[in-house]
Amino acid sequence: QPCAPELRSTDVDVVREYAKAHFQGRFALDWQTFAEQWVAQEWSTLGQVKCSTYHLAGGRCVLLGDAAHATCPAIGQGMNTALDDASKFNDLLDRFEDDLDR
């Protein structure tokens, strides 16, 4: 789910109260104006491309970010997925004590 149900609401009061509760202290905003603009925005839906599983015979390879995830370049998710993937890969290296054979 891309965001909280409150942020998909068309009710300005619901959006304003959610934003104030969850974003307070992070941004210096006029919450009423924020909520009005948020509700007025048009939502875009993007399709997701499903790719076949990558197989590498006789070697090792790690795919991260854009190489591993088929996302639309216009949404700027490449770096986000790369950082998330790197963090998860690091967790696995820690869990298996850097034993790449496991």
Identify the band that residue 8 occupies on the pLDDT scale cut at 50, 70 and 90: confident
Q: Which one has a higher pLDDT value, 99 or 44?
A: 99
The mean pLDDT of 42-66, rounded to a whole number, is 73
- Beta-carbon contacts of residue 10 (< 8 Å; ≥ 6 apart): 39
Identify the band that residue 94 occupies on the pLDDT scale cut at 50, 70 and 90: very high
What pLDDT, on the 0 to 100 scale, is given for residue 40? 93
Q: Supply the mean pLDDT for the chain.
A: 81
> With the C-alpha atoms ordered 95, 79, 68, 57, is the resulting torsion angle positive or negative?
negative
Distance of CA 18 to the CA centre of its chain: 20
With contact defined as beta carbons under 8 Å apart, do 12 and 35 qualify? yes
pLDDT at 73 over 80: no
Directed axis angle between helix 12-23 and helix 31-40, to 10°?
120
> With the C-alpha atoms ordered 13, 15, 16, 22, is the resulting torsion angle positive or negative?
positive
Closest CA to 40 of 76, 15, 75, 5: 15
- DSSP letter (8 states) at residue 44: -
pLDDT at 46 over 70: no
pLDDT at 2 over 60: no
